[in-house]
Structure formats: structure tokens, C-alpha cells
Amino acid sequence: MAGLAHLVLALLLPLALLPPAARGTGETPQYTTVHAESDFEVRRYRDTVWMSAPSDDISFHVATKLGFHRLFQYLMGANLNSSRIRMTTPILTSIVPGAGPLHSSAYFVRLYLPAKFQASPPVPLPELNLHPDWWPSHCIAVRSFSGYARDNNVVEEAEKLALSLSRSPWANSTNYPSKSAYSIAQYNNPFRIIGRLNEVWFDVDCKSTGVEAY
């Protein structure tokens, strides 16, 4: 519980300091749902650009906390244009098992860039160690879950999605070339206690089931 409290406080402060114009418009990456079942769906996302904060921290919640702090500075003008950038959703933390020190997990904390910056993202200040990620259109399997995303439940949710996929027409589609094992998307700011929305994402191969990404 102490770790969760520290994470909430760490995220509350920067969000509370955002001026009204920077607190977000609800802008999210655009997608089409191509398959739906009771416990997951598959979405085809359009080409998108995200700003990414790589991290070798020891846990999901520490990586998310520190990565978001760097991204927050970028939003508030720590870029070569001194541009203020509106907050978007979700905050996405991608997990790459075995890519960190001593075969620990590595993480990439990402924010979707608003439409006005998709074609030409402001260049982050070098000391932030951020970089833009260009994602081509592709399919993502998604499972929703509530509450706060924590180290002790994100793996469990990912395992549930993997099991659901193994029993579906998408069982052989998870070999889509991806550096991440899975990602956790968080949509609500920490002020919201009830009705929180999180998602676990797996990249999947649309073509293996006859669905084309474009």
C-alpha cells in the first residue's frame, strides 16, 4: 500500500500544477474495433506518434512515476520550441522483460501526441532522454480492468488476456513483431478513485485472421 500511495502522490502533484488549458482534451489515438468478445476486443489503430521515456527502473510503478515526470516537463515546454502541449490519454507503459540490467524488465512510458503535433513533434530537451516513437497502423488486443494499475495486478491482467487470446481465433496472431511483451494503458488522473479505466495491450497480427491494417 505504501508503494501505491507514493505513486498516487507522485502523479497528483504534476497534474494538479497543470494549467486548465494543459489538462487535456480527452484526445486519444484513433482506432476501429475489428473483433469483440466478452472479455477482450481487437482494435486496429491508425498511424500514431508517441513521445517515449525509456526506463530501466526496478518496477512498473517506479518506471511509470519517473517516466511521467519527464514527459510532464516536456508537456510544460521543455522542448526546443518551448511549446506547451495538451495532456492526452492514455499514459502507456510498455514492458520489455529481460531488457534491463541483470535481465530485469525495461519499460517505456509513452504519451500520445495531440493531432497538431503528429506530423512534427517538438524536439525534447536532451537531458530528458525522450524520443518520439512512430507506430504504423496495426492491431492491438485489449483487455479492460478497473482500479489502480500496480505491480501486483498488471502481470495478472496480462496473463488473463493471453489466456483469452489462446482460446480465440486470434490464438496464432500474437507473433506480431513487437519489442514489448505487453503495455498497460491508464486513462484516469489519480484524483479519480471510483470507475477507473485501465487496459492491457498486446500487439497482434491482423493479417493472420484476414484483417488488414491501414
Q: What is the pLDDT of residues 8-19, one digit of tens each?
A: 444 444 444 443
Residue linked to cell 525522450: 130
Domain tally for the chain?
1
Which backbone phi and psi does 168 adopt, to 5 degrees? Answer: -120, 175
Question: Which residue matches cell numbers 518520439?
Answer: 132
Output the pLDDT for position 214.
45
Cα–Cα–Cα angle for 204, 175, 168, rounded to 5 degrees: 60
Range of the domain at 59: 2-209
**The pTM is what?**
0.84
Measured from the Cβ of residue 147, the count of other Cβ atoms closer than 10 Å reads 13
Report if residue 122 sits inside a domain: yes
Q: What is the pLDDT of residue 8?
A: 45
Cis amide prior to 114 (ω within 30 degrees): no
What pLDDT shows up at residue 97?
76
Rounded to 10°, the helix 60-75/2-17 angle is: 10
CATH number at residue 173: 3.20.80.10
Q: All 3 cell numbers of residue 126?
A: 536532451
Question: Is residue 214 in some structural domain?
Answer: no
Q: Per-residue pLDDT averaged across 83-92, rounded?
A: 96
- Domain-embedded: residue 68: yes
Inside any domain, residue 121: yes
Give the pLDDT confidence score for residue 12 in this predicted structure. Answer: 45
Mean pLDDT, the chain, whole residue set: 85
Quick one: pLDDT band at residue 210, thresholds 50, 70, 90? low
If you average pLDDT over residues 131-152, what whole number do you get?
Answer: 95
